[in-house]
Amino acid sequence: MVLLETRRLTKEFRGFRAVNSVDLRVEEGTVHALVGPNGAGKTTLFNMLSGFLKPTDGRVLLAGEDVTKLPPEKIARRGVGRSFQITSLFEQLTVVEHVAIALQSATSLGYRFWMSERVLGRFRTRALELLEQVGLAGVAVREVHSLPYGQKRALEMALVLALEPKLLLLDEPTAGMSVDDVDRIIELVRRVRAGRTVVLVEHNMGVVSSLADRVTVLQYGSILAEGSYGEVRQDPRVIEAYLGEAHADDAVSHQPSAVSGTELMGDADGRGAGLRSEPKRDG
Ligand SMILES: Nc1ncnc2c1ncn2[C@@H]1O[C@H](COP(=O)(O)OP(=O)(O)O)[C@@H](O)[C@H]1O
Ligand SMILES: [Mg+2]
């Protein structure tokens, strides 16, 4: 069954088409990766899937129902959870408090009684379970600001899971991470995908090859190629698109055989190089 579908989905910013007539189909139960050079429109597409941006044209269907016009909170209530490319957390809370508040906010209590002892107690058990799932049980009572970057991203995952989404939208969950943290995120996504569908924007091709059942390559706002990781990595158009990015600053008459797509797109062991060097963001 197709869980998520877009039809001719389009977003213009003052006449510039950041996403151009995209037809995407995500099968239920799969991990579906969205890749593509910087500026391809991946985050814009994500923002439309989660309702944070309204499309200029086209539709978004969730389990066959049109959700194009729904606000983000209504889409979330239908089981769509998303993470953001940039993490924004309540830094002064402890890790377990943060998750407890996320759990509470999903109930009819909303944020009203946040931080009250009684409420925290009520959601604490479930919060600890979620922390266990993402490997943060050991730092439950530390304040969020004291966590290293990789653990903040894991916490962010716990916050998304608190809403019990059937569809998880993850925007560059490994951005700026060390190799060890990247391996941990791969393990984490493997664990949390059970019973869920995941759409993942990811630059690290090692991560894509480890996790994705299907890969959609975007370029200039349009779908360039689609298939398994093995298929798209060999697609000459995809190799060309990435060569274009890798050599954007050179006036280059490259030998296509000199740099293979395989090298460019990393190896299948989860440690493949990203195609773009991410600045190390640490908190
Ligand atoms: N709010 C905005 N206003 C104007 N242009 C935007 C806006 N958001 C994104 N863009 C442009 O749309 C294009 C796609 O951006 P984005 O979706 O962030 O790409 P990606 O996530 O693939 O790197 C880029 O050229 C970007 O500059
Ligand atoms: Mg982006």
What does the DSSP assignment read for 214-238? EEEEEETTEEEEEE-HHHHHT-HHH
Q: Would you state the pLDDT for residue 88?
A: 67
CB 29 within 8 A of CB 22: no
Q: Whose CA is nearest to atom 20 of ligand 1?
A: 39
Measured from the alpha carbon of residue 37, the closest ligand is 1
Ligand 1 mutation target, pool 10, 11, 13, 14, most atoms within 8 A of CB? 13
Distance CA 11, CA 195 (A): 31
Nearest Cα to Cα of residue 211 among 168, 178, 245, 153: 168
175, two tokens: 């951005």
For helices 149-161 and 95-105, the axis angle rounded to 10 degrees is 30
Nearest Cα to Cα of residue 51 among 87, 15, 89, 4: 4
Distance of CA 65 to the CA centre of its chain: 22
Low-confidence ranges of the chain (pLDDT < 50): 249-283
> What residues flank ion ligand 2 with Cβ within 5 A?
42-43
Q: What is the DSSP letter of 204?
A: B
Distance CA 28, CA 202 (A): 19
Q: Would you state the pLDDT for residue 119?
A: 62
> Cβ(37) to ligand 1 under 6 A?
no
Strand ranges (E), the chain: 2-13, 16-27, 31-35, 57-62, 65-66, 80-82, 167-171, 197-201, 214-219, 222-227
Residue reference for tokens 């009520």: 122
Q: How many Å lie between the centroid of ligand 2 and the Cα of residue 39?
A: 7
CA separation, residue 208 to residues 149, 219, 257 (Å): 21, 17, 23
Q: Which CATH number describes the domain made up of 1-70+198-283? A: 3.40.50.300
3-state secondary structure of 37: coil
CB 56 within 8 A of CB 12: yes
Distance CA 226, CA 210 (A): 17
Q: What is the pTM of this model?
A: 0.81
Give the position, in ligand 1's atom list, of the atom nearest the Cα of 41: 17
Q: How many Å lie between the centroid of ligand 2 and the Cα of residue 249?
A: 21
Q: Whose CA is nearest to atom 27 of ligand 1?
A: 39
> Cβ(231) to ligand 1 under 6 A?
no
Give the position, in ligand 1's atom list, of the atom nearest the Cα of 46: 17
> Cβ(42) to ligand 1 under 6 A?
yes
Give the position, in ligand 1's atom list, of the atom nearest the Cα of 53: 1
Q: Whose CA is nearest to atom 25 of ligand 1?
A: 39
Give the position, in ligand 1's atom list, of the atom nearest the Cα of 14: 4
